[in-house]
């Protein structure tokens, strides 16, 4: 059972046991100072332009396809920017549904990266639309400030560079310093 603690500094403001989305949203709004959270639209299993029973609705008429494409792109722009770091994955961080998603979640956890996520298996419209929107055909997909970083391979590469950067920088600095001393002494030609 999930347990949420709202802290300010070291002071406990609120505690919530269990998943109550409405209560959590109101507490986040109350304690964050953000006001009203603009969360992405609720996921739906019915396609736009069609009722849940598959019957076409008025939006499914003429010009509806272009309108649907604009609607999904607007929705995707909002989703990829829903959190500073946003992960589109198969499953959830608690229950990834593929090995690549599992590995990416592990990388983010290992580095204590805070991120939002979207289960693309729960919404086929987002699953298919995001492939076109991002021009990236596979999942998981990681976004930073609304921009695609990539999948597991690119994210792990970038994270390893970030991890190694301080060591590389100090090695380069040491080498440049040593090289400068050697040139001053005339030992390197």
Distance, in Å, from the CA atom of 88 to the CA atom of 136, rounded to the nearest integer, reads: 12
When pLDDT is cut at 50, 70 and 90, the band that residue 13 belongs to is confident
Q: What are phi and psi of 129, to 5 degrees?
A: -65, -35
How much is the pTM?
A: 0.55
Least confident of 12-16, 19-23, 83-87, 165-169: 165-169
- 72-189 has which fold? Glutaredoxin (3.40.30)
- Kindly report the number of other CB atoms within 10 A of residue 90's CB atom: 19
CA distances from 104 to 107, 126, 145, 153 (A): 5, 20, 18, 9
Pairing of strands 11-17, 3-8: antiparallel
> Which region, left, alpha or beta, applies to residue 145 given φ > 0 means left and ψ of -120 to 50 means alpha?
left
Question: Would the pLDDT of 184 be above 60?
Answer: no
Q: Please report, for the chain, the start and end positions of each structural domain, with discontinuous segments joined by +.
A: 1-37, 72-189
DSSP β-bridge partners for residue 144:
85, 147
Q: Report pLDDT digits (tens) over 90-136.
A: 999 999 999 999 999 999 998 888 999 999 999 999 999 999 999 99
């Amino acid at each position: 059972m999930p347990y949420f603690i709202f802290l300010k500094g070291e002071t406990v403001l609120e505690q919530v046991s269990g998943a109550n989305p409405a209560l959590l949203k109101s507490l986040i709004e109350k304690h964050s100072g953000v006001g009203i959270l603009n969360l992405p639209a609720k996921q739906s299993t019915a396609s736009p332009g069609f009722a849940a029973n598959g019957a076409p609705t008025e939006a499914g008429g003429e010009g509806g396809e272009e309108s649907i494409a604009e609607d999904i792109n607007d929705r995707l722009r909002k989703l990829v920017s829903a959190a500073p770091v946003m992960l589109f994955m198969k499953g959830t961080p608690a229950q990834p549904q593929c090995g690549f998603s599992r590995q990416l979640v592990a990388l983010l956890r290992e580095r204590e990266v805070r991120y939002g996520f979207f289960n693309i298996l729960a919404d086929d419209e987002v699953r298919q639309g995001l492939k076109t929107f991002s021009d990236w055909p596979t999942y998981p997909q990681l976004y930073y400030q609304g921009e695609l970083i990539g999948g597991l391979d690119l994210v792990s590469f970038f994270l390893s560079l970030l991890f190694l950067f301080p060591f590389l920088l100090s090695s380069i600095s040491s080498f440049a310093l040593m090289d400068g001393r050697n040139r001053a002494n005339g030992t390197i030609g």
